[in-house]
Amino acid sequence: MNGFSLSVVIPSYNEMANLQKGTLEKVKNYLERQKYQYEIIVVDDGSDDGSREFVKKYIKDHPSVKVIENHHSGKAGAVTTGMLAAKNDYVLFADMDQATPIEELEKFLPLLNKGYDVVIGSRSSRRKGAPLSRQIMSKAAILLRSIIIGLPLIKDTQCGFKIFSKKAVQDIFPKIKSIHNNFKSIKGSSVTSGFDVELLYIASLYGYKIKEIPVDWLYVETRRVSPLKDSIDGVIDLLQIRKKIMLGVYK
């Protein structure tokens, strides 16, 4: 892609285990082999396990990697901070654990060439290694989201591997930040399903071209996932989004 430039945003909250496995190094090494301009933005979300210090030490020898020290506001706040700080023409956000490998980006590039503004990964048929409880939870979430919110052409709103054009970022993420009052400080971990749904709903509302494509994805176990609690929270998020839609908040 002529003139293509990419920013990769990676939210990080207590990710020392993944950093020690070399996941950040993997992303950097892949991007170094490409012919386009890139930057990596790690947004530390108030980590207290030493991962913030790890990244700050790492960037001393790798100028293509930047770190933003955020107050602890949850994944949604961290992603939003990074997306708004990105300087390049397209901005991808991806998880530190690399459950969706950075190499899957290659599937996105032809679609960007075809004029899509937002391209999202889909795990719908490739949830490798996920326990049955997670698979059932995911299918139920898709059904409920379709009923409550819509977005019938999108199967998997929650895959943490999404790319946006700079114009889409400039329209969508300030709106998200405003709706959530600049993302207040929180306690503990917070990964809300509503954030991704809101992003895609706003993108659709604003007329951006969205494409969903299957990506390789490997389930990575984490203590931050609680099937019952997350399912209840997910339904509450959807109902809150429906309320905002009815009140015209997203317009």
- Count Cα atoms within 13 angstroms, Cβ side, for 248: 0
Question: Residue 72 maps to which CATH number?
Answer: 3.90.550.10
Which structural domain range is residue 230 located in?
5-247
How high is the pLDDT of residue 5?
97
How high is the pLDDT of residue 232?
81
Which amino acid, 189?
S
How high is the pLDDT of residue 46?
96
pTM for the model stands at 0.89
**H/E segment holding residue 94:** strand 90-94
Report the number of distinct structural domains present in the chain. 1
The sheet with strand 118-122 has its strands ordered as: 65-69, 37-44, 5-12, 90-94, 161-165, 118-122, 210-214
- Digit-by-digit pLDDT tens for the chain (251 residues) are 668 999 999 999 999 999 999 999 999 999 999 999 999 999 999 999 999 999 999 999 999 999 999 999 999 999 999 999 999 999 999 999 999 999 999 999 999 999 999 999 998 654 555 565 566 666 666 778 888 898 888 989 999 999 999 999 999 999 999 999 989 877 666 567 799 999 999 999 999 999 999 999 887 665 555 666 777 888 899 999 999 999 999 98
How far apart (Å, rounded) are the C-alpha atoms in residues 36 and 6?
8
Give the strand pairing for 161-165 and 65-69: unpaired
